Amino acid sequence: MSALTTPPSPPGRGPSITDVAARAGVSIQTVSRVLNSAPKVAAGTRQRVLEAITELGYRRNPAARALATGRGGLVGVLTSSSALYGPASITAALGLAATEAGVHLAVEHVVDFDVASVQHGLSRLVDQYAEAVVLVAPVQEAYEALAGAQPLVQVPVLAVSSGGVGATEVSVDQRAGARLAVQHLLDLGHETVWHVRGPRGWYEADQREEGWREVLQAAGREVPPVLEGAWSADSGHRAGELLARVPEVTAVFAANDSCALGVVRALAERGRSVPDDVSVVGFDDVPESAHFLPPLTTVRQEFSELGRTALRQVLRMVEGDGALGDAGAEPAVRSVQLQPELVVRRSTAAPHR
């Protein structure tokens, strides 16, 4: 990408490593290698980078030297500004894992996942000398925006729960989790299972619905209509009010634990007891789920392990030039998928005959 297509640095801010890369027509990692006097940089490329540094008057932040040595390196995290349990837990787990590993973490929050916002967030992280970024935003629009923004910034990105869209991804098998929940309910003797799904546009919601449907179809059971929901207790309560009016409903798989809480409340208000009349299963195993009334059967995602695995994989990307090469290079670090666990408590039981 040429300097002519790159907007100038904002007033008051000196040229960044991103500006140098754009002026020289190379990746940020190539500039980093030149700054660190690394081998395997062609003489002509090295000369272009040095000329761009001189022309722009670029001055390197001393923090970058620590990054180059692999000690006290910096990893960026780009995530939403939402306080939803899943993304917030993953980001917190990344922070804890980074502290344990002696790695600095820079977190950039994005309100809207359009190309300009994602590009701005990535640029801010790169300007802090992040050599790789973990994207914690399991929504379709984030990866659509990333496809347009990443070539402009040229930072390798590790995706968390991208639905397989990210070239390199760390995730929990959402389909497997849904299958565990639905099979548990069928094994208890329920004829079928109703589903309150998560919001449209979320990979995890889509995959949980797919897993739910797969188990019912494989068992030759009726597949009830999906109830639209969200990650909130309010949405679960609205769905629960509808489900309470259908006498044949005996089992519900909710989008997540918050949604399940709303379903249980709505059923109770309509005189339908959980689990005597209706069994309910959630997803996530939030800390409070063991203290719901009744304690909630749910699917556990080990967010701490997800954070540790994501950090381990992104550090491998930093350490291996094969994963940090120019855009279009085959990633040297492969995707990792963790398995969820069914946690059986007292919100599920065999149906009354």
Regarding whether 251 and 188 lie in a shared domain, the answer is yes
The angle that helices 203-218 and 174-187 make with each other, rounded to 10 degrees, is 40
Do 338 and 305 meet the contact criterion of CB atoms below 8 Å apart? yes
Regarding whether 181 and 243 lie in a shared domain, the answer is yes
Do 282 and 298 meet the contact criterion of CB atoms below 8 Å apart? yes
Regarding whether 186 and 328 lie in a shared domain, the answer is no
Identify the pLDDT of residue 15: 82
| Residues 22-50: tens digit of each pLDDT | 999 998 888 877 876 666 788 889 899 88
Identify the pLDDT of residue 101: 80
| Residues 113-125: tens digit of each pLDDT | 788 888 888 888 8
Q: What average pLDDT does range 147-160 have in this prediction?
A: 76
Regarding whether 92 and 24 lie in a shared domain, the answer is no
| Residues 46-85: tens digit of each pLDDT | 899 889 988 888 865 544 444 444 444 688 999 987 778 8
Q: What's the CATH code of the domain at 11?
A: 1.10.260.40
Q: What average pLDDT does range 223-233 have in this prediction?
A: 97
Regarding whether 330 and 183 lie in a shared domain, the answer is no
pLDDT over 70 percentage in the chain: 83
Identify the pLDDT of residue 61: 53
Between 322 and 136, residue with greater pLDDT: 136
Q: Which domain holds residue 229?
A: 174-301
Q: Is 126 within a domain?
A: yes
Q: Is 241 within a domain?
A: yes
Q: Is 285 within a domain?
A: yes
Q: Is 249 within a domain?
A: yes
Regarding whether 312 and 285 lie in a shared domain, the answer is no
Regarding whether 99 and 178 lie in a shared domain, the answer is no
Q: Give exposure, 271-309, as e/b (b: 16+ Cβ within 10 Å).
A: ebebbebbbbbbbbbbeebeebebebbbbbbbbeebbbb
Q: What average pLDDT does range 139-155 have in this prediction?
A: 77
Identify the pLDDT of residue 165: 67
| Residues 83-106: tens digit of each pLDDT | 788 888 999 999 998 888 888 899
Do 86 and 259 meet the contact criterion of CB atoms below 8 Å apart? no
Q: What's the CATH code of the domain at 100?
A: 3.40.50.2300
Q: Residue 235: pLDDT above 60? A: yes
Regarding whether 311 and 214 lie in a shared domain, the answer is no
pTM of the model: 0.76
| Residues 155-213: tens digit of each pLDDT | 778 988 867 766 688 999 999 999 999 999 999 999 999 999 999 989 999 999 999 99
Regarding whether 309 and 165 lie in a shared domain, the answer is yes
Q: Is 25 within a domain?
A: yes
Do 348 and 281 meet the contact criterion of CB atoms below 8 Å apart? yes
Do 204 and 161 meet the contact criterion of CB atoms below 8 Å apart? yes
Q: Residue 5: pLDDT above 60? A: no
Whole-angstrom distance, CA of residue 245 vs CA of residue 249: 9
| Residues 243-297: tens digit of each pLDDT | 999 999 999 999 999 999 999 999 999 999 999 999 999 999 999 999 999 999 9
Q: Is 345 within a domain?
A: no
Kindly report the average pLDDT of the chain as a whole number: 85
Total tally of structural domains belonging to the chain: 3
